[in-house]
Amino acid sequence: MLSFGKIQYFYLYLLTNPKTTQIGIYTITRKQLAFTLGYSIEKVHSLMERFINQYKLIRYYPETRELAIKNRGKDNLHKGGKPIMDCIYSELKEVQDTSLVQYVLEHILKNDIRSLYESFCEQGRIVFDQEDRDLDENDTYKETDGEEDDNSFTHRYTIRGQKENEKENEKEKQQQDLYPNVV
């Protein structure tokens, strides 16, 4: 059985670890949580289930390894201004699962910050409608058969890889422009 101190420690770590962001959505694996906290993967799994299903304070999407903290926006986004809005915008661009943006948005009180979150939710709906993606609200944490699946993706698409490919193609085009007779 989990002690109250371990539950508090786990939640405090979710709020303050080095991967946290202003928007309350960040990427972290269960293995990273277990290693840093000194817990077993099973204990982290149990704590995450409790925080998702019982306390309803977080959501975790294992395909993208993104974790969202429900009250992050309500508790921390009281003041705006250009630097804060720029920070929020750049962090929202990195979120892969926009259903998590909607989850955090529900508790943001400041209107200009809400509208920024909403704009990302609309973009996500368009993309997900195109992909015919159905995600049940309660299905944000998938059970595994005792195996940790944090080391495998169903697809290996990354923005960094795409940018590298674009740069390589651009270099090849420049070389062809400079040396048209060289094969």
| DSSP-assigned letters across all residues of 100-144 | HHHHHHTT---HHHHHHHHHHHHHHHHHHHHHT----TT-SS---
pLDDT at position 147 over 80? no
Average pLDDT over residues 56-85: 88
The gap from C-alpha 16 to its chain's centroid, in whole angstroms, comes to: 15
Domain ranges of the chain: 4-154
List the 66-69 sheet strands across, edge first: 25-27, 66-69, 58-61
- Helix, strand, coil shares of the chain as percentages rounded to 5? 55, 5, 40
pLDDT of residue 176: 63
Read off the pTM.
0.66
pLDDT of residue 158: 57
- Name the band, by pLDDT with cuts 50, 70 and 90, for residue 99: very high
User: What are the tokens at 169?
Assistant: 């193609």
At residue 134's C-alpha, the angle toward residues 125 and 98, to 5°, is: 40
Continuous segment of H or E residues that includes residue 88: helix 82-94
Number of C-beta neighbours around residue 77 at 10 A: 23
pLDDT at position 126 over 70? no
Q: Which of 42-46, 117-121, 141-145, 174-178 has the lowest mean pLDDT?
A: 141-145
DSSP 145: S
pLDDT digits (tens, 9 = 90+) for 45-59: 999 999 999 999 999
Q: Which residue has the higher pLDDT, 64 or 168?
A: 64
pLDDT at position 35 over 70? yes
